[in-house]
Amino acid sequence: MSIVSRWLLAASALLLGGQSALADINMPVGVTPISKEVYGLHMMIFWICCVIGAVVFGVMFYSMFKHRKSKGAKPADFHESTTVEIIWTAVPLVILIAMAIPAAKTLIAMEDTSDAEVTVKVTGYQWKWHYEYLDSGISFFSSLHPDHNAARQKGSGVDVSQFDNYLKEVDNELVLPVGKKVRFLHTSSDVIHSWWVPALAVKKDAIPGFINENWALIEEPGVYRGNCTELCGRDHGFMPVVVRALPEAEYDAWVAENAPAPAITESTGAAATTAVAAVEEDADREWGLDELVAKGEGIYNTNCASCHQANGQGLPGAFPAITGSPVATGPIDAHINTVYVGVSGTTMASFANQLSDVDMAAVLTYQRNALGNSVGDTVQPSAIKALR
């Protein structure tokens, strides 16, 4: 839609009080009781502010038109009045109290996390989310969808407008039931992130070393999209949240199908929407070099490329290059150790909990034999398994 027509539309929508056309310029009403309350609160304070603005600016502009020298206005010389001072201190105070009461009520309701039926632990990683259903044991990582990830690279040449939900699509969606109180436990493994889904009016910071609680009761099935909203480093803009709310029966079926899931699952894979499918991979089997490299590429692009770059060149000063890296082309144990344990005090985190044996072996082999490196050896999944 062109900009002009959108302005017109917005203006007419404002006049008519219509809501649908406002979707792109106003807060969504949302699908939880809290989000609806928040929306109501938002509209109330918005209109109060508008009225205050209208009165204040009205008086001011009236004065500016009437009391100008060119109109022959002669200055009065009053400059004090305790009465009006008291009035315009008291009136705003009353308005504020009127706003504060409903706000306090909503706030109290928001903080009440008791009696939840489902608990999901949400852990922020640079730059993906990890979800753990504490009741059913399902757990998986959720990162930006690989297609979007490829398109968003600088100079990718991809026309991003072809995507329906550019940057708001993930590989593994968080599946939640409709009509049940869901409690979230937010934490982080590295820096502060913030988990936000506007339609649920849920936004809470993920603080490393601490857990924050939050809750939502989704009333309508659907897909709800959000983002990380706390600056968390280079790819802060690229860690979306996608929630799929299913009717209770479907949700139960999904849980039954996926639980008990393996503690570590594939983090790539544009698998099915609810792709936690526990693909049984044989970590004990002997893998071939090409097989590992082929598999490793996807893992690398999802997990490592945001720092070390898709071409392996890194960003000088911030992230070392993998191409020609003394670690990635050196002794294999040191290489494994770097990725399995991480490098403390740097952003190079431990991937032990983020990658399965096969995935880790694949990405290591990929680093050693692609991106301009050609060491020629392989890292076998069994070697990783032995470390655990």
d(CA 11, CA 162): 28
Return the residue of 95, 158, 294, 343 that touches ligand HEC, per CB under 6 A. 343
User: Residue 127 touches which of another protein, ligand HEA, ligand CUA, none (CB < 5 to 8 A by kind)?
Assistant: ligand CUA
User: Residue 124 touches which of another protein, ligand CUA, ligand HEA, none (CB < 5 to 8 A by kind)?
Assistant: ligand CUA
> Of 235 and 297, which CB lies nearer to ligand CUA in the complex structure?
235
Residue 317 region, left (φ>0) first, then alpha (ψ -120 to 50), else beta? left
Contact region with ligand HEC (CB under 6 A), list: 14-22, 34-42, 284-292, 319-327: 319-327
d(CA 96, CA 116): 34
Order of strands across the sheet with 241-246? 174-177, 241-246, 222-228, 193-197, 202-206
Return the residue of 92, 208, 247, 288 that touches ligand HEA, per CB under 6 A. 92
219: how many CB neighbours lie within 10 A of its CB?
Answer: 15
Contact region with ligand HEA (CB under 6 A), list: 90-98, 173-181, 292-300, 308-316: 90-98
User: Residue 69 touches which of ligand CUA, another protein, ligand HEA, none (CB < 5 to 8 A by kind)?
Assistant: another protein
Kind of pairing between the strands at 222-228 and 193-197 = antiparallel
Task: Select from 222, 241, 237 the least CA-distant residue to 169.
Answer: 241
Q: Does 234 bind ligand CUA (CB under 6 A)?
A: no
Contact region with ligand HEA (CB under 6 A), list: 89-97, 153-161, 195-203, 204-212: 89-97
**Helix or strand or coil: residue 72?**
coil
Q: Are 339 and 363 in contact (CB under 8 A)?
A: yes
**Secondary structure (DSSP) of 19-57:** SGGGGGTS----SSHHHHHHHHHHHHHHHHHHHHHHHHH
Residue 368 φ/ψ, nearest 5 degrees: -80, -20
Contact region with ligand HEC (CB under 6 A), list: 108-116, 153-161, 220-228, 320-328: 320-328
Apex CA 236: angle with CA 231 and CA 242, to 5°? 115
Q: Are 355 and 299 in contact (CB under 8 A)?
A: yes
> Of 127 and 254, which CB lies nearer to ligand CUA in the complex structure?
127
> Of 241 and 355, which CB lies nearer to ligand CUA in the complex structure?
241
Contact region with ligand CUA (CB under 6 A), list: 115-123, 210-218, 227-235, 299-307: 227-235
How many residues at the interface with ligand HEC, by CB under 6 A? Answer: 22
Structure tokens at 375: 């060491």
Contact region with ligand HEA (CB under 6 A), list: 88-96, 216-224, 238-246, 303-311: 88-96
d(CA 323, CA 373): 6
Structure tokens at 367: 């680093």
Q: Does 370 bind ligand HEC (CB under 6 A)?
A: no
What's the min distance (Å) between Cβ of 192 and ligand CUA? 8
Return the residue of 56, 73, 90, 263 that touches ligand HEA, per CB under 6 A. 56
> Of 48 and 352, which CB lies nearer to ligand HEA in the complex structure?
48
Return the residue of 367, 369, 378, 380 that touches ligand HEC, per CB under 6 A. 367
Enumerate binding residues for ligand HEC (CB under 6 A). 126, 303-304, 306-308, 319-320, 325-328, 335, 338-339, 343, 346-348, 351, 363, 367
